[in-house]
Amino acid sequence: MTTTAPETARKPATMAQALTRALHDAMAADPSVHVMGEDVGTLGGVFRVTDGLAREFGEDRCSDTPLAEAGILGTAVGMAMYGLRPVVEMQFDAFAYPAFEQLISHVARMRNRTRGAVPMPLTMRVPYGGGIGGVEHHSDSSEAYYLATPGIQVVTPATVADAYGLLRAAIASDDPVVFLEPKRLYWSKDDWSPDAPTQVAPIGRAEIRRPGANATLITYGPSLPVCMEAAEAARAEGWDLEVVDLRSLMPFDDDTVCASVRRTGRAVIVHESNGFGGPGGEIAARITERCFHHLEAPVLRVAGFDIPYPPPMLERHHLPGVDRILDTVARLQWESDWTEGCGA
């Protein structure tokens, strides 16, 4: 359940500003919180999310690092083992790949390896996804790699309020969190109060962003605004679509997702990550296992193509858009004998 600040205290704020405030407030509240990464200090990060932190808290707590992602994360592991709460920024999604050995072999396993004796309060922030005209290694949707690694939580905000609330929750967690920040939503705005931040649902909970009756769009991060636009456009076809924002990919909120699908009887999963081996396959399996007797049609997916990320001039074809979502919704067997009378 979310609560809001008084209307008079709220004003337009960007997701990037909410993230900066979350880091600031976490550092102010807890001296064990340290921010580190490439250009996060004096420059304030390539997206300026860490702007001002080194100036206020000092370079010992907001530190520039060499261009060595495995070294950055390995250093953070040692810091966490000795009681600090490191927040690592990987400058771009695909830049994190050299750090996978540290993530998979140590970050994800430390608590289990030590029978719970050594927690791993480490947050790894990763700007991810396309839509900004980035070149190779700057627009990957890498969430499937993290989801395939037991031992880490994976969250991604799609709203200004969630950017603040989920990042504070990630930093406060005693277990590691991969925090995926949709780059194309950094400058999205919403009414929000930095002095009285909106209280949001905890990690592990999904939110229904738009109620509907005929089918459920299940999405997260950068695809949420696209799904909201598609749901509004679908009204012209006579479809009333519900939109579920997952927010937390691991832990996964089966209860909210399945309750929605059982109500609507149809589901489409939308994400930028490639379809083969992407998160949509696991989500479709979970829905089918839990909601089979409520389904009016197979669970369908709208995803990025099964290719390396394309050049900027072609990314509009690769990324899920309103037309592709509506074309997929149209395939949900609206005219079958079983569903006669439903839909347009």
Catalytic (active-site) positions: 138
Sole residue written with tokens 């102010």: 28
Beta-sheet pairing, 215-219 with 241-245:
parallel
Count the residues in the chain: 344
Question: CB-based contacts of 249: which residues, under 8 Å, 6+ apart?
Answer: 143, 146, 147, 154, 155, 156, 220, 279
Residue 326 near residue 234 (C-beta atoms within 8 A): yes
Residue 142 φ then ψ, to 5° = -100, 15
